[in-house]
Structure 1
Amino acid sequence: MTTRTPVEGRQLGQQLDSLRRGNAAAVLSEIRARGAVSRSEIAAGVGLSAAAITKIIIELERAEYVTEAPQTEPASTQARGRGRPRRPLTLDLDRHRFVGVHVGLQRVTAGLVDLAGQVVALRSRKHGGAAPRTVLSAATRLVGELIEQSGVRHEDVVGYGACTGGWVPPESGAVRAFEGLGWHDVAFSEGLRVDGLPLPRVESTVRALALAEARLAAAEGARNVLYVFVGNVIGCAHVVHGDIARGQHDAAGLIDHVSSGSRSAVPCMCGRHDCLWAVASDAALTLDAQRRGLLPDGTTIDDLVKISGERTARRMLERRATRVGTTVAALIDVHDPDLAIIGGGEVVSSAERFEQVVSAARGRVVGGREPTPIQPAVLIGPSGLVQGAATPVLDAFYADPLARP
């Protein structure tokens, strides 16, 4: 009989616990991916024995992460004398929630997301200023109201994620730079702390949305996904085999100041007139329309879209679509993705404008290869922003669902 030392015993226990948690993660991810699925299908999918699957399912059911799917077959048609038949398993969507918060130039949006990544409650409100304390206070109040009005217990909030524009290294918990709000080295995660909730994991809006699209909306089999966002900020993100490409300084994808090859009458926040932000962002386009007398002060890109029947307004939107398309083409040449997704507002919500973007991109991509599919983002608007903010914490949960005490 082999006698283990106390240290060897602890190491073995840690290895077995790690294996148990890894198997639980694989099983729960399989159920999430396939919907209602039988135990035998789960076993085949993850390569575990029926006995191992049974043990894991018991733990996941006890934690209220999974449940049996509703019965679809009338009881009278079921075989008699063989006990209650086992129904397929599915995610339990009734209890556990993730909080997602997006801080934009003018508004804060907060929502609750279930285990399937779907938004089940949503609130949005203007934050009333650019000072970090003002904006973050408005955000934390909104989260508090959301939790209270939804009747969710704090202990049932599995994760809390937040995103905003600019350079946001997740590990720092800070916004290093967000020119739209004039933020530099703002303690973003700490400023969003809500009593009773976990400290939020933070991410840039563009990367959060890219990850959400890759997880929830991209075609199956797309392992190399390029995401381009066109709104009040311009940015891109590259998801390779499920992970965001971040770069040496966690700043990959900040393309606002890339030269566009053309000039705008409206200067970029850095003072130049040829930056991509100056010629293609919602904010710059709106400022240009106000300068031309097409719109009064205080209007937004939505107001420009409303008058797009006017010749000058229409030409402005068309030129923007062409510039976005040539930018997408350049990024496709650099990254050679399986799929390119374009997100944002007007360039996605208008079918005509999206086709102009795609046409411009097709005309510039280097020839000699199959064209990269380009599709509009599925996750748009306030709900999409909340799903984006929550996706990194959803990822962390599914990587180790039994980590919670």
Structure 2
Amino acid sequence: MRMEELTRVAPRPSGTGELFQLLRDGRPRTRSDLATATGQSRSTIATRVDLLLASGLVSPAGEASSTGGRPPATFAFNPAARVVLAVDLGATHARLAVTDLAGRVLAEHGEQIAIGHGPRVVLDRVVEIGRGLLATAGRPTSDLVSVGVGLPGPVDHATGRPTNPPIMPGWDDADVPGILTSRLHVPVLVDNDVNLMALGEHTSQWRGVDHLLYVKVATGIGAGIISDGALRRGAQGAAGDLGHVAVPGGQERPCRCGNTGCLEAVASGPAIASDLTARGLAATTSADVVTLVRAGDLTASHAVREAGRSIGGVLAACVSLLNPSVIVVGGQVAEAGEHLIAGIREVVYRRSLPLATQHLRIVATRTGAEAGVLGASAMAAEHVLSAAAIDALIA
């Protein structure tokens, strides 16, 4: 059975998928180790290990230390057995990577795009780049088992279709999974880009943290929520839409959503650039703001810190509501350095209850521009490595 058929088959659970989950950490184990961990008989374990070996997702990993007699063989997850395509689309950029099933990047590519050109143009380019990356990584198309895509707008995760995305003209209800599946012939999963950034940061840098908030500050402002170790999307996939929360005591600036005083209208990259332009500086985009700050411009540095204070005012309520252990700040404006985070910390620590901030860390992203593709990779890999998917494969 081809791996792309996993979601279309619903066999009776064999238990092999649950056994495989024990091996996903990559640590070599013997059959005896697995029998002890599961309470299953050695004959059952032997049968299931043989099935996993035949799938290629588990491979021999040498011999364990002997306590007398022949050393027992060990087995471990083989993430190089298959690959996924991870796609991070923004308002003006595309980043793609081919990764193995553990998220290790094998080939990657980034370029400027215009999301407003519409789904057909943009997704045709995604397919073209994706096929090129498979070739660069030296992997045949048959090794590709799934695709993960992040989009810069609300997404119905169940269907993978964008829902009234404000900066994506022509994308509303576009069948993104259908378009890509028809070209690449594997399952395609789609989510909001900030959700995937949160997932990428969490799985690669903060796996031991169960409560994390990822905040992206760029053309827009949004958040991805990790609670109890899992990504939370909300009823319609709109959880984390910080950009359209009113700033406490903020200016009544019109926002593209139709309201006034939204965080995005006050503290996003374009909003900061507009403020700087009014003060006589040449700034149009988030990148222009970052360039000015890195050049040591005090006016730009102060403007970014003030934007951080506005973001902090909204995040203070989030801290009281969600009680995260870590807030990670990313996005292009975060590349301006400590000015943004300093403003956020100043207000969050002042406005939130001491109990909620007692152990709270507010930090810059560790994955930078890679967060989106790492999250897309994690989402795509999980789709084919879950217990149910492995049981379907084995069947």
TM-score grouping bracket, smaller chain normalisation: 0.7 to 0.9
Give the Cα separation in 2 of the matches to 1:349 and 1:35.
Answer: 39
CA contact (8 A) 1:37 1:88 kept: yes
* Amino acid paired to 2:49: I
Unaligned runs of 5+ in 1: 1-13
**1:104-119 mapped onto 2 (5 Å cutoff):** 104-119=90-105
CA contact (8 A) 2:244 2:262 kept: yes
Aligned to 2:185: 197
Aligned-residue offset at 1:284: 2.6
Give the Cα separation in 2 of the matches to 1:51 and 1:42.
Answer: 11
Give the Cα separation in 1 of the matches to 2:42 and 2:273.
Answer: 60
Instruction: State which of 18, 28, 31 in structure 1 corresponds to 2:12.
Output: 18
**1:220-269 CA distances to partner (integer Å, 9 max, x unpaired)?**
2x434333332322122333334433333232222221101354697432
CA contact (8 A) 1:265 1:288 kept: no
Aligned to 2:24: 32
The percent identity for this pair of structures is: 23
SS at match of 1:185: coil
SS at match of 1:184: coil
Aligned to 1:50: 42
Give the Cα separation in 2 of the matches to 1:341 and 1:278.
Answer: 21
Instruction: State which of 379, 392, 401 in structure 1 corresponds to 2:390.
Output: 401
Aligned to 2:270: 283
CA contact (8 A) 1:162 1:203 kept: yes
Aligned-residue offset at 1:101: 0.7
Query: Looking at CA atoms only, which structure, 1 or 2, has the larger radius of gyration?
Result: 1
**1:73-88 mapped onto 2 (5 Å cutoff):** 82-83=69-70, 85-88=71-74
Aligned to 1:274: 261
Aligned to 2:197: 209
Aligned to 1:226: 213
**1:85-124 mapped onto 2 (5 Å cutoff):** 85-124=71-110
Aligned to 2:3: none
Aligned-residue offset at 1:113: 1.7
Distance 1:189 1:366, change over 3 A: same
Over aligned residues, Cα RMSD in angstroms? 3.2
Distance 1:56 1:270, change over 3 A: same
Give the Cα separation in 2 of the matches to 1:368 and 1:234.
Answer: 26
The TM-score with structure 1 as length reference comes to 0.82
Give the Cα separation in 2 of the matches to 1:39 and 1:291.
Answer: 69
Give the Cα separation in 2 of the matches to 1:47 and 1:328.
Answer: 46
CA contact (8 A) 1:362 1:371 kept: no
Instruction: State which of 112, 136, 139 in structure 2 corresponds to 1:149.
Output: 136
Give the Cα separation in 2 of the matches to 1:378 and 1:369.
Answer: 21
The TM-score with structure 2 as length reference comes to 0.84
Aligned-residue offset at 1:79: 6.5
Give the Cα separation in 1 of the matches to 2:12 and 2:344.
Answer: 48
**1:315-346 CA distances to partner (integer Å, 9 max, x unpaired)?**
01111222222322210111223444333344
**1:7-47 CA distances to partner (integer Å, 9 max, x unpaired)?**
xxxxxxx99x6331xx3333322222353344444444444
Distance 1:290 1:28, change over 3 A: farther
Aligned to 1:361: 348
Aligned-residue offset at 1:155: 1.9
Give the Cα separation in 2 of the matches to 1:50 and 1:296.
Answer: 67
**1:286-317 CA distances to partner (integer Å, 9 max, x unpaired)?**
3433444322556724323323x111011011
Distance 1:80 1:290, change over 3 A: same
* Amino acid paired to 1:326: G
Distance 1:227 1:157, change over 3 A: same
Distance 1:62 1:316, change over 3 A: same
